[in-house]
Chain A
Amino acid sequence: MYSYIARRLGFGALTVVAVSIMVFVVMRILPGDPLVAIFGPEGFTKLSDKDRASYMAELGLSDPLWVQYLTWVKDILRGDFGRSFFRSESVADMILRRGPLTAEIALISVVLSWVVGIPVAIVSALRPNSIADSLARFVSILFLAVPGFWMGMLIVLALLFWFGYRAPMAGASLFADPVANLQLVIGPAIVLGLGQAAYIARMGRSSLLEVVREDYVRTARAKGLNKRLVIGLHALPNALLPVITLSGVLLGLVLAGSVPVERAFGTPGLGFAMFTAVSERDVFVMQNLVFLYAVVFVALNIVVDLTIALLDPRIRYR
């Protein structure tokens, strides 16, 4: 087990390094000039050569690329994520202020996806091809197709239309003002949670149907155990393993989905900050946020892999 953990962590560290290089390559070396990204194609042509050179020097962009890369890595290791061109707040402060909201949204949505997805999967798998199963499958296929941010916009519209309700616009922390905080978080969390629940219900159903065919389940039934007990106590734990893995993969969906969904709800979280950075073409903020999202995704997937290894001896002893 320890060697497995060590290997997984080592590979995780390697991944983070590779990810930092990839982010750097995408944001700095790809054909797009950072100044074009900042000023826009039109603004760029209006700059004189001297202006361009001075901006480049000021931003540290005239150093050789590997120097720029090392400077960036050094800054990150010191906890300095730079600052935006357009705002006085440093990116590190912004992450600390907005990050918790997005983390809350992600957490609630994952919990919600299990609370909704697993019971649906069980109902489907208990009676495959029944009316309930068909209905569950249809709804989950529908939810796979609905873009989360559109569902968010519809929810905002419907609440306004019928109840004249609008979530508060300002950020509110969980501890200082739990009610306002909940109002901010619940909408995006429901949208993202239902999106994941659809995948979980589908995966859970097929995984359960597979496990139910195994010999040990038939033995348990032959002993005369109640069908519900067999499914709940014998089949479900094994059927959940692939669902846990899927849930880890779906975290990518949550992290990525938080950007348009927070935009749709106007939630002042990290996803909205990324939207702002993109629309203001704020290359450096974007670079750091993309890196942060990727690192969080990698770290969470390591946690998921270790959880699976803990639960499933077959992986531990491989």
Chain B
Amino acid sequence: MTATFPDQPVLPATPSRTRSIVRTVGRGLGRFFRRAPLSAFWGCVAAAIIAMAIAAPVLAPYEPLKSDFRSMQKPPDEKHWFGTDQIGRDVLSRVIHGSRASLTVALGAVIFGTTVGALWGLACGYFGGRFDMLSQRLIEFLQSFPDLILAMAIAMALGGGMVTVIVAIAITRIPFGGRVIRSVVLSLKEMQYVEAARGLGASHRRLMFRHILPQCVAPYLVLATTHLGVAIVIEASLGFLGVGIPPPTPTWGNMLADSLNAGLVPPWWLVLFPGAAITITVLAFNLLGDGIRDMLDPRLRGSV
């Protein structure tokens, strides 16, 4: 005989409730800035990069795909701050537009990879038993591939394109999400409050989503921000190797690959700027992730 408690009806977003959410978020942000100013600064950089991606058409001084045959492969000057490539496209505009591809792929890969992995890990940790054992073996098999190699093979098999690249990178992210969240759930499951809820007759769904899931948000956020950085590097590598989003779409990896076609000696501005964009973006997400981890879980401070 199980007496299931009906799930609480979702409260309508009344003005006062919205305001209190805003206040909570604001207070959290304030605390973040005071406790981890460095991470907060890099969080702002990450936000600026996201804003740059959204506003790319407004910010870019030139069309990213338009060739100007009067200025080809020109070093940086006051007209083209980052110079032009071998067919006269403005490098600054291409770097700005490149952020769109990078961030879209990274976000997609984290949503479909880390999140799917996390939900899988939640189910594994919660149900345990044979399902868990099978899943763990599967995850181990997936992890026997170096991640870029797996992504390359999948991207190549599926043929190029934004969706393909997202799928390829997402698959490499699943095992990590699965493992981390599973271990969190395994320890949460034994907690007394979960036992109490179970004793009161809460259903599996309610236990999983109302009692255990909220506790997984912190590790998930940390994982997701780190994975954003990893996904950006993999996306750039795929583009560099010619299995990413096909040209002429400007992506940072494509630009670096293109620079090698610009003659025996690639001009330095074609190499420096796209790579610097990758580095700064990844650095921003990594340090933001560090800060979130330090704040949400002080026990993990300083660990990898």
Q: Which of A's residues lie within 8 Å of B, judged by CB?
A: 15, 18-19, 22-23, 26-27, 30-32, 36-37, 41, 141-142, 144-147, 149-150, 153-154, 157, 160-161, 199, 202-203, 205-206, 209, 246, 252-253, 255-257, 259-260, 263-264, 274-275, 278-279, 281, 283, 286-287, 290, 293-294, 297-298, 301
Contacts and interface: CB of A to CB of B under 8 A. Distances in A.
B304 A203 contact: yes
Contact of B266 (A19, A157, A202): A157
B158 A32 contact: yes
B208 interface: no
B287 interface: yes
A142 B283 contact: yes
B128 interface: no
- Label chain B's interface by main secondary structure: helix
Interface residues of B, number: 46
Contacts of B275: 146-147, 150, 153-154
Nearest to B280: A145
Contact of B241 (A23, A263, A301): A263
B286 interface: yes
Given A150-B271, A259-B148, A297-B144, 12 more contacts: A26-B154, A32-B159, A36-B159, A150-B236, A153-B260, A153-B271, A199-B304, A252-B147, A260-B148, A260-B237, A279-B241, A286-B156
A149 B240 contact: yes
Given A147-B237, A259-B241, A23 B268 contact: no
Given A147-B237, A157-B271, A281 B156 contact: yes
B249 to A, nearest CB: 16
A283 B159 CA distance: 12
Nearest to A160: B265
Contacts of A199: 304
Contact of A154 (B147, B156, B271, B302): B271
A145 B229 contact: yes
25 contacts: A18-B141, A27-B157, A30-B157, A32-B157, A32-B159, A36-B159, A37-B157, A142-B279, A145-B282, A147-B233, A147-B275, A149-B240, A154-B275, A157-B265, A202-B304, A206-B302, A255-B146, A275-B241, A278-B152, A279-B243, A290-B149, A293-B145, A293-B146, A294-B144, A297-B146
